[in-house]
Structure 1
Amino acid sequence: MKRVEGKVAIVTGGASGIGLASAQLMAKEGAKVVIADFNVEGAEVAAQELVSQGFEAKAMFLDASKEESIKEVVDKTVEAYGTVNVMYNNVGVTNLKKDLDIVNMDMDEWDRQMNVNVKSVVFGCRYAIPHMIKAGGGSIINTASMSAFASDSVRTAYGSSKAAVVQLTKYVATQYGKQGIRCNAVAPGLILTPAAKNNLPEAMLHMFEKHNALAYHGEPEDIGYTVLFLASDESKFLTGQTIEVEGGHYLANPTVPEMREFAAKQQQ
């Protein structure tokens, strides 16, 4: 089934992880996909692989910290394909060494994350929306995070920036819905992207799994299928929403795992 056939989709941060999975799924479901990434070599490999399979894809360089680079990606996409129907703002940065608690975090890191994580979404929307209006509408999808809803002992800037993305999503949906534009966000929990696999120790992965309602960790495709749904007309009456895709990690009372362990010991 060609769920997004004929649509032109830009995926920022599309060379790996969630962005790559989303780009692959949309291309395989009929979209013309632009994979935009700072890692342009990785984007080119991803695009070439899709083309070799008979799908439509292009790679473009993107520096999401620069407004002019985002505008250039949108402009080049329109030059190549005539319009933009789907804008997936997926770029995000974090830094566990500098993004600490409110007293000790590096304020330059705060500024960097607000600039990339929030302003890249602003500019992605700003430059895609006029083309979407001309085309009669479109779908904007933003990557938020469960860090927008649940606080932590560190990553103050990251959580704050993603909370801004959640609210920005509502503003765009409100301001442009009458012109046929939908804007939604996806909030992933822990997803086993290459970065997560390479940087999180096994003990930490076990801690996350312990608190999941489901018995496994998420994969990039789990987010990709949600993005595909939001890009398609199947979600045509859905806007301003942030869909939490997190395996039920934040669903229950946080003492549930300990309560289960306690009950099991009482039965011994």
Structure 2
Amino acid sequence: MARMKDKVALITGGASGIGLSAASLMAKEGAQVVIADFNVDGAKEAAENIKTQGGDAAGIFVDAGNEDSIKKAVGFTVQHYGKITCLFNNVGLTNLKKDLDVVHVDLDEWDRLMNVNLKSVLLGCRFAIPHMIHAGGGSIINTASMAGFTGDAVRVAYGASKAAVVNLTKYIATQYGKNNIRCNAVAPGLILTPAAENNMPPEVLNIFAKYNALPYHGEPDDIGNTVLFLASDESKFITGQTIQVEGGHYIANPTVPEFEQFMEKAQP
């Protein structure tokens, strides 16, 4: 298939997890892909794996907390492939040891997360949009989070940064739609990326599973396929939207699991 034929995509945070899934799927559909990551060895390895499967990819370094590094990643993409028509802003950080509640959140950590999770999205778009206009249009996809829609006991900086990504997505879509540039976001719930599986004990995963409407957790390809759809022309009349990909975790009355248990015990 060739859903991404003649398209050039820059994917930040593309060496693993959701970014790697999106890069691999886009390449399979005909896109030329630049995988940018702080883990440059991982980015280059991912690009080589795509090449062995018949795709076209390059792996480069990017520091999403550094303006010049983001500018260079966009510049490399245009220089290497002649244009950029898709940007997937996928870098995001969280820190459960410092990103706590409002009273106790480390303010340096707040600034760091706002810089990496939010400002990097702005900068990626700032540098890519002029090239997209020159190319006749494009599609931008930003990684938000369900943390941007709900409150939690901790991670106030992370949640605030992701909520801002949701609204920034709308601004970009509004301001550049007439240039044939679409901008959407994807908001994952718990996704079994390598980082999640390595850092979350089974007990915590079971807690999340208890509140999913579906009987399983999400996987990177669940987000990757959504990003692929938003990057392709199949979504050409969708812009300014944030698609929630979260297994129905947030759709129900939160008392449902306990109520079901109560009803089971009440059965004669």
Match of 1:115 in 2: 115
Match of 2:2 in 1: 2
1:227 and 2:227 equivalent?
yes
Cα distance in 1 between the residues matched to 2:174 and 2:48: 37
After superposition, give the CA deviation of every residue in 1:115-174 in whole Å (9 maximum; x if it has no partner).
000010000000000010011100000000000001100000000000000000000000
Q: Which runs of 4+ in 1 moved over 2 A?
A: none
Match of 1:188 in 2: 188
Within a 5 Å distance, the mapping from 1:248-259 to structure 2 comes to 248-259=248-259
SS of 2:251's equivalent in the other structure is coil
Paired AA for residue 126 in structure 1: R
Cα distance in 2 between the residues matched to 1:41 and 1:231: 26
Match of 1:24 in 2: 24
What is the deviation of 1:200? Answer: 0.6
Match of 2:45 in 1: 45
Paired AA for residue 107 in structure 2: M
SS of 1:191's equivalent in the other structure is coil
Match of 2:208 in 1: 208
What is the deviation of 1:226? Answer: 0.2
| TM-score (norm: length of structure 2) | 0.99
Work out the number of aligned pairs and report it: 268
Within a 5 Å distance, the mapping from 1:94-243 to structure 2 comes to 94-243=94-243
Cα distance in 1 between the residues matched to 2:168 and 2:250: 22
What is the deviation of 1:68? Answer: 0.4
Cα distance in 2 between the residues matched to 1:49 and 1:211: 36
Cα distance in 1 between the residues matched to 2:66 and 2:232: 29
SS of 1:140's equivalent in the other structure is strand
What is the deviation of 1:5? Answer: 1.1
Paired AA for residue 139 in structure 2: S
Paired AA for residue 156 in structure 1: V
Cα distance in 1 between the residues matched to 2:54 and 2:144: 32
Cα distance in 2 between the residues matched to 1:222 and 1:11: 17
Q: Percent identity?
A: 69
Structure 2: 5+ residue runs without aligned partners?
Answer: none
| TM-score (norm: length of structure 1) | 0.99
